[in-house]
Structure 1
């Protein structure tokens, strides 16, 4: 399951709308601590400037990955938009997926009023759709452990 803040979803959708009819692309970086939480929006240029294909500019990608390394971050989400088709990874998307631990998010912008957002894991050419939980913040989102702070026991001094 991808747990993602609403503000990051809004930024991805805004980027996809801005670049429409071309595909938009980018990364959501997060701490390299196993938390699997995207924290930082990193829009990138679609070097192809195409409505049917995206490719990160290699020099921009190198700069982005160096900055993530310097900040102890990883690409938690790799996103791009589909402008005229459903947000499902194409054969090309699958063949180019190089981040086995990343969530691959597709933003569908074929409807000018509503967006579609879906997330996938792509490992060794195998695609598995996953649930997306949009939260306002990560403080109390589901992690499999109790994130709710203990309340003070009124019986204790």
Structure 2
């Protein structure tokens, strides 16, 4: 199960909507060895495509170095689908290289509907998992 704070959920959804019609992408980092998504990192889709995302290699290296320096891991790797449901494509499955990560997809095909789903992708096998959104938009610490 992915347990994610409302403020991070809102940032992921906002990023997906803002970058539409192109796919949005990014990560949420957490303490190494944990399963706690704590630090939202919006990234640029170097492909600038409505059907494909690709982390910019320079930005990816910077983010990876930050994770290393801060003793963090990739807890969530997210991107959006602009014309299809929030389900991993064959390409998404092929490029999934972090078995410990939650792969979050947000579909922006319907402007008034939020389709936010999370998956584990291990050795090409996709398993959807429940998402628990914690906190509320009105919490003072957000």
TM-score range, shorter chain: over 0.9
Partner residue, 1:24? 24
What is the CA–CA distance in structure 1 between the aligned matches of 2:75 and 2:120, rounded to whole Å? Answer: 11
Unmatched segments (≥5 aa) in structure 2: 137-142
Partner residue, 2:15? 15
So what's the TM-score if we normalise by structure 2?
0.94
Local SS of the residue matching 1:10: helix
Q: Which has the larger radius of gyration?
A: 1
What is the CA–CA distance in structure 1 between the aligned matches of 2:8 and 2:115, rounded to whole Å? Answer: 15
What is the CA–CA distance in structure 2 between the aligned matches of 1:18 and 1:99, rounded to whole Å? Answer: 26
What is the CA–CA distance in structure 1 between the aligned matches of 2:97 and 2:53, rounded to whole Å? Answer: 14
Deviation at 1:35, TM superposition (A): 2.9
CA RMSD of aligned residues (A): 0.9
- Larger relative CO (CA 8 A, sep 6+): 1 or 2? 2
Deviation at 1:114, TM superposition (A): 1.4
Local SS of the residue matching 2:62: helix
What is the CA–CA distance in structure 2 between the aligned matches of 1:4 and 1:35, rounded to whole Å? Answer: 13
What is the CA–CA distance in structure 2 between the aligned matches of 1:126 and 1:119, rounded to whole Å? Answer: 14
The alignment of Structure 1 onto Structure 2 pairs a total of residues equal to 136
Partner residue, 1:112? 111
Deviation at 1:85, TM superposition (A): 0.3
